[in-house]
Amino acid sequence: MMAIGRRRQEPEPGHGAGISIGGNNIGPLQNVVGQNISHVRQHATVEGATDVDSVRELLAAFRLDLERNEPQLEHADALRAMATSVDNALSAPAERLGTLRGIAQALPALVAGSVVQQSGEALAHAIGGLLP
């Protein structure tokens, strides 16, 4: 039997696909194919906000990552040479902007899909933060 005069209840706003922009999200987020997303951090950077000491720390972590995973890396020699170039350029970053810019652009492609991808991309991002 059909009830006359009853309206279909509308869903409350903000309770739908599990994707929201802003607001208080209590449940887990899902991407568009329904997979749970966890351990996601959101951040914003301001150009020129990275200091040389931060880049040096990331460079040291990248070098350790390279040493630990060298047998598995196809471009280990090139990555080691880039690390040395970054180290040299950090002594006078203003005079070596071209070198730093080139490394920041090339490094992500060289580490993509490798075991050092995370540390390499972090280093490239930090170098980019030094650039005007």
Q: What is the mean pLDDT of residues 20-34?
A: 49
The listed range with the strongest mean pLDDT (92-96, 114-118, 128-132) is 114-118
pLDDT tier for residue 9 given thresholds of 50, 70 and 90: low
- pLDDT for residue 5: 58
pLDDT tier for residue 16 given thresholds of 50, 70 and 90: very low
pTM higher than the cut 0.75? no
With vertex at residue 122, the alpha carbon angle to CA 34 and CA 97, rounded to the nearest 5 degrees, is 135
- pLDDT for residue 31: 46
With vertex at residue 115, the alpha carbon angle to CA 111 and CA 120, rounded to the nearest 5 degrees, is 40
Rounded to the nearest 5°, which phi and psi values hold at 36? -65, 145
Q: What is the mean pLDDT of residues 9-13?
A: 53
Place of tokens 């920041």: 104
Residue 36: strand pairing partners: 30
- pLDDT for residue 95: 87
- pLDDT for residue 30: 47
Place of tokens 């060289």: 110
Q: Quote the mean pLDDT of the chain.
A: 77
For residue 90, pLDDT beyond 50: yes
> Rounded CA gap, 58 and 85, in Å?
14
